Structures are given as structure tokens and as C-alpha cells.
Amino acid sequence: AQTVTQSQPEMSVQEAETVTLSCTYDTSESNYYLFWYKQPPSRQMILVIRQEAYKQQNATENRFSVNFQKAAKSFSLKISDSQLGDTAMYFCAFMYPLGAGGTSYGKLTFGQGTILTVHP
């Protein structure tokens, strides 16, 4: 079974600076999806960025980018020009494509989360 590990329980950064959140995962499959979700104190889980394992190019969404190292099974999130609104719990998550391995139904497996605080 796949596992997702986030080794940084808490991180902090000054407004306008850059911060990187780490994530490692374990799987024996070659085709899968990786995600970073943001959960602010309001509790709503919001998708930040997605990476398909078959794509070598790292995904980018505005100030958010990832460093996907497939061989090392590493998937870090870089937040540039941090804003106060970025303060939240961030989760790394993993999903197999529907039907992968004959049993996948597209469930998400989450890491333990990293609390990010952006200071003014």
C-alpha cells in the first residue's frame, strides 16, 4: 500500500519570502498522481497543485511550484512571495489512476500535514 510522509510538523516564513515543504511517498507503481492540498482554519480543503507521475516537467501554479523527484519518491512544494493568506495546514496526497492495478477507485492517501505560518 502507498504511504505518504511529511517530516515537518510546523514551518514558518516571513511575508514575501520563499518556503519549501517536504513530502516523500512510497509506491511500487509507476503511474500515479501527487497533490498538495491547503486546509486553512476555515477547514475547507483546497487543491493547490497537481503532478502526474508520467510528466517529467514540474507543475507550477502562480506562486506555487513543485520539485518532483520520481526516483527519490520526493515531492516538495515551494511557495514564493509568501502571503498572510497562505497560513494553513498543507497536506501532501497520493492517488492511483482509476482502475490502476485492477482495484484502484481513486482514493486519496494523505500525509500527516505541515502547519505553515506566514508572519507579517
Partner 1 sequence: DAGVTQSPTHLIKTRGQQVTLRCSPISGHKSVSWYQQVLGQGPQFIFQYYEKEERGRGNFPDRFSARQFPNYSSELNVNALLLGDSALYLCASSVRDSLYNEQFFGPGTRLTVL
Min dist CB 23 to partner 1, Å, is 11
Nearer to partner 1, 107 or 119 (CB): 107
Min dist CB 120 to partner 1, Å, is 25
Positions that interact with partner 1 (CB under 8 A): 4, 33, 42-47, 50, 52, 91, 93, 95, 97-99, 105-113
Residue 52: phi and psi, rounded to 5, are -90, 135
Which position has the grid cell 513543485?
Answer: 66
Min dist CB 38 to partner 1, Å, is 11
CA–CA distances in Å: residue 55 to residues 48, 61, 74, 112, 119: 18, 15, 14, 25, 34
Nearer to partner 1, 41 or 85 (CB): 41
Nearer to partner 1, 33 or 64 (CB): 33
Q: Which of 105, 108, 104 is CA-nearest to residue 93?
A: 108
Residue 86: phi and psi, rounded to 5, are -80, -10
